[in-house]
């Protein structure tokens, strides 16, 4: 018998590894039958005949209001009996789903949020993709959706980007949002683990965000996002629908996001779909600290941006450097009262939210049940340094192992004339087939071109 630490419900790294190993043998009590793995080399490709509209003016992108997805998406069906079917890259379009599909009733859904960046050297990059694909496996395990190889998912993301990247990322400095999603599809009411599922990846245009300071509204006493033993650490749809009512109140009152508190002690956890950081002077030692909530209780999301901020700060900010005073990097529980004290004693230097969608956003104000808390500096020194370093890595100005280049053989900066679009996409796919970076994934591509 597997040791308790390797039980899938534990979600430890060992349990997740165990879950991958078991992914082909979990169904129907069959333990010796090999089910199909997620396999990018089986990809079938259908290029669109009606390209979607690219919005060159990023201010026209109605993020959150209009569907600004790109020309293609990738779908992969899974069934308990057969495992993963051949992935399909095809024109973006609606899903055929039974009204009794599991995800529509029991929230068997999880997702990821990543970005692809067009670098200043013309290359297309994704940021620490292995962190996102591994986290997606943790999320899917938490809600009884099937396992998959994270590196196979990464490969599929790269193939989709290589197809749509040339048209949809025409200029240095722009980016696309990447949304890998997994849903339980099997049509049968009855509360049980989904017997069918579908993985899909869509890409969407995203507005270039202007430097905007965020104002946060601390969550109400009667409202909670996550709790120990729950699923706050997983990127599952079930975490977000119920939080929209609080988000709506925040917007109506002139704030940008909710700062989620936990427990009567008002522990500070995270802000909207971002992790939350403060820079303050420690009450006892007077030393400058970069502080964020710990992952221990599994009530906050293990953000890739959060990790990257912590790692960069440990690497580059813990020794004094000219004007920049060294700081300590601390993951620990702290409360709203600690924040209020720090602000009153003039020790609260900076605050920011960190996540893929809205990157590093400086926080200029937090409202907590009648009190306003202001960090001393909006767009502070440490916030600015961390933001600049991350941006340089994402856009290829600093060469770094976190930024993974996605090869696109057909990319040209001026390839955007509308009537050439389809031919260019077809040509790009042909060249991708010859690109060693995409073998073996595309060796057996059956392009209907």
Ligand X SMILES: *Cc1c(COP(=O)(O)O)cnc(C)c1O
Own/partner pairs, 391-395, CB within 8 angstroms, 24+ separation:
391/359, 393/127, 394/115, 394/117, 394/125, 394/127, 395/117, 395/118, 395/119, 395/120, 395/125, 395/172, 395/173
Nearer to ligand X, 235 or 281 (CB): 235
Q: Which of 102, 108, 305, 362 binds ligand X (CB under 6 A)?
A: 305
Q: What is the dihedral of CA 232, 238, 241, 244, to 10 degrees?
A: -10
In the complex, minimum distance from the CB of residue 62 to ligand X, in angstroms, rounded to a whole number = 21
Closer CB to ligand X, 273 or 406, in the complex: 273
Q: CB under 8 Å, gap of 24 or more: what pairs does 222-227 form? A: 224/260, 224/262, 225/258, 225/260, 225/262, 225/269, 225/270, 225/299, 226/260, 226/262, 226/269, 226/299, 226/300, 227/262, 227/299
Using alpha carbons, select from 299, 366, 305, 312 the residue that is nearest to residue 339: 366
Between 77 and 307, whose beta carbon lies closer to ligand X? 307
Segment contacting ligand X (CB under 6 A): 101-109, 270-278, 365-373, 420-428?
A: 270-278
Which residues within the stretch 200-229 sit at the binding site for ligand X (CB under 6 A)? none
> Site for ligand X (CB under 6 A): which residue of 143, 152, 259, 273?
273
Say how far apart CA 292 and CA 305 lie, in whole Å: 12
How far apart are the C-alpha atoms of 306 and 43, rounded to whole Å?
Answer: 34
Q: Does 428 bind ligand X (CB under 6 A)?
A: no
Quick one: CA torsion of 422, 428, 431, 437, rounded to 10 degrees?
A: -150
Q: Is 301 in the site for ligand X (CB under 6 A)?
A: yes
**Taking a C-beta distance cutoff of 8 angstroms, is the pair 325, 317 a contact?**
no
According to the binding rule CB under 6 A, does residue 47 interact with ligand X?
A: no
Closest separation between CB of residue 7 and ligand X, Å? 25
From 145-153, 300-308, 375-383, 404-412, span contacting ligand X (CB under 6 A): 300-308
**For ligand X, which residue of 136, 145, 278, 304 counts as binding (CB under 6 A)?**
304
Say whether residue 355 binds ligand X (CB under 6 A): yes
Cβ at position 148, least distance to ligand X in Å = 19
CB of 132 to ligand X, least distance (A): 7
Name the one range near ligand X by CB under 6 A: 87-95, 173-181, 273-281, 380-388. 273-281
Question: How many residues touch ligand X (CB under 6 A)?
Answer: 13
- Interface with ligand X includes 306 (CB under 6 A)? yes
Binding site for ligand X (CB under 6 A): 113, 235, 270, 273-275, 301, 303-306, 355-356
């Amino acid at each position: 018998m597997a040791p308790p630490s390797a039980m899938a419900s534990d979600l430890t790294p060992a349990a997740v590894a165990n879950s991958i190993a078991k992914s082909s043998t979990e169904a129907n009590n069959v333990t010796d039958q090999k089910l199909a793995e997620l396999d990018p080399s089986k990809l079938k490709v259908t290029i669109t005949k009606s390209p979607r509209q690219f919005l060159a003016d990023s201010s026209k992108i109605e993020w959150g209001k209009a569907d600004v997805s790109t020309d293609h998406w990738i779908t992969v069906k899974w069934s308990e009996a057969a495992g993963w079917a051949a992935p399909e890259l095809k024109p973006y379009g609606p899903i055929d789903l039974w009204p009794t599909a599991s995800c529509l009733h029991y929230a068997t859904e999880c997702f990821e949020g990543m970005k692809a960046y067009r670098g200043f050297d013309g290359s297309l990059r994704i940021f620490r993709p292995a962190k996102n694909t591994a986290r997606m496996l943790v999320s899917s395990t938490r809600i009884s959706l099937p396992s998959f190889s994270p590196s196979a998912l990464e490969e599929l993301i790269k193939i989709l980007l290589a197809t749509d990247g040339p048209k949809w990322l025409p200029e240095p400095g722009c980016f696309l949002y990447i949304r890998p999603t997994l849903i339980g599809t099997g049509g049968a009411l009855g509360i049980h683990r989904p017997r069918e599922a579908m993985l899909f990846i869509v890409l969407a245009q995203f507005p270039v965000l202007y430097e905007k300071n965020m104002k946060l509204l601390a969550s109400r006493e009667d409202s909670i996002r996550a709790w120990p033993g729950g699923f706050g650490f997983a990127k599952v749809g079930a975490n977000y629908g119920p939080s929209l009512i609080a988000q709506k109140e925040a917007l109506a009152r002139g704030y940008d996001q909710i700062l989620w508190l936990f427990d009567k002690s008002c522990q500070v956890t995270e802000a909207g779909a971002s992790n939350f950081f403060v820079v303050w002077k420690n009450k006892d030692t007077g030393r400058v600290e970069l502080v964020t909530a710990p992952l221990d209780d599994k009530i906050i999301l293990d953000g890739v941006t959060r990790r990257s901020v912590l790692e960069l700060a440990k690497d580059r900010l813990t020794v004094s450097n000219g004007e920049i005073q060294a700081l300590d990097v601390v993951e620990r529980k702290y409360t709203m009262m600690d924040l209020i004290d720090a602000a009153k004693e003039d020790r609260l230097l900076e605050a920011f939210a960190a996540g893929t969608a809205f990157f590093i956003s400086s926080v200029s104000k937090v409202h907590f049940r009648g009190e306003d808390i202001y960090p001393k500096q909006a767009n502070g020194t440490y916030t600015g340094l961390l933001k600049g370093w991350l941006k340089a890595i994402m856009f290829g100005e600093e060469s770094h192992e976190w930024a993974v280049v996605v090869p696109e053989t057909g990319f040209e900066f001026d390839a955007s004339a509308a009537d050439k679009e389809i031919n260019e996409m077809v040509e790009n796919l042909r060249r991708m087939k010859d690109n060693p970076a995409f073998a073996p994934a595309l060796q057996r591509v059956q392009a209907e071109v």
